[in-house]
Amino acid sequence: MSKLTGKTAIVTGGGSGIGRAIATTFASEGARVAIFDLDEDASEEAVQSIADSGGEALFQSCDVSDAGSVEKAVAKTLESFGRIDVLVNNAGVANIGTATNTTEEDFDRVMRVNVKGVFQVLRAVLPKMVDAGGGVVLNMSSVAAITGLKDRFAYSASKGAVHTMTFSIASDYLEDGIRCNAICPARVHTPFVDGYLEKNYPDTKEEMFEKLSKVQPIGRMCKPEEVAGLALFLCGEDSAYITGQAYEIDGGYMKLR
């Protein structure tokens, strides 16, 4: 039997990058996966790829920062799959800037998606898990939540909030049979990284990619599939005794620099 056979999982931001890797991995391990995302084309492609591999998934267009949008997506997931066993709060946006050059608009955007978005999804899903007798929540934190990264003021603040929300959920819902943990990646090679390099270093992309890769002591960026492997462990029965924890997946960044 696969690790998530019979389980239903919601993955926010599951259309691309880390979220897609998690959705694909979960589906390959028997889960029915609901992808909550705003990128319809990428999400439908992910759903089709999962179906082609024998898995089961659906796409729900969802703005995680909007309560009505989240409630509608959750309702449709329950209508299709009947229950929610696992929630992965992965949707998020990045921002580059310090406390003085980050605009108010950018700060609000990051907080709206990365913090309020997690809150809105938790508020909609947790009562369903409580009614069902338990479940697992996994939040995507970051090394930015636990160390000082240059030019990541708003992003670090948002991930710090997600980080501590993890511990609150683990404490508040322990007696309801709900576990909650977080993953703290260092730099992961996703389409965002490629877009960042294309926009900011169009003439030196390869050189900058190598430089960014070597920030991690292990000498390379993390692969989305490696984050997905850790997510699978934390959302499956092998980690049944683990809650209220935050796991660094950073190529030695936090301890070996």
Instruction: Tell me the CATH architecture of domain 8-186+223-252.
Output: 3-Layer(aba) Sandwich (3.40)
pLDDT of 200-222, one tens digit each?
Answer: 899 999 999 999 999 999 999 99
Q: Which residues contact 143 (CB under 8 A, 6 or more apart)?
A: 149, 184, 185, 186, 248, 250, 253, 254
How many CB atoms sit inside 10 A of residue 108's CB? 12
Chain centroid, CA 239 distance in Å: 18
Catalytic residues: 155
Measure Cα distances from 106 to 112, 118, 221, 233 in Å: 10, 18, 26, 34
pTM above the 0.95 mark?
Answer: yes
Give 19's pLDDT tier (boundaries 50, 70, 90). very high
Residue whose entry in the numeric block shows the structure tokens 């993390």: 222
pLDDT of 104-139, one tens digit each?
Answer: 999 999 999 999 999 999 999 999 999 999 999 999
Separation CA 34–CA 249 (nearest Å)? 25
pLDDT of 149-187, one tens digit each?
Answer: 999 999 999 999 999 999 999 999 999 999 999 999 999
Average pLDDT score over the chain = 97
Q: What is the residue extent of each domain of the chain?
A: 8-186+223-252, 188-221
Per-residue confidence (pLDDT) for residue 81, from 0 to 100: 98
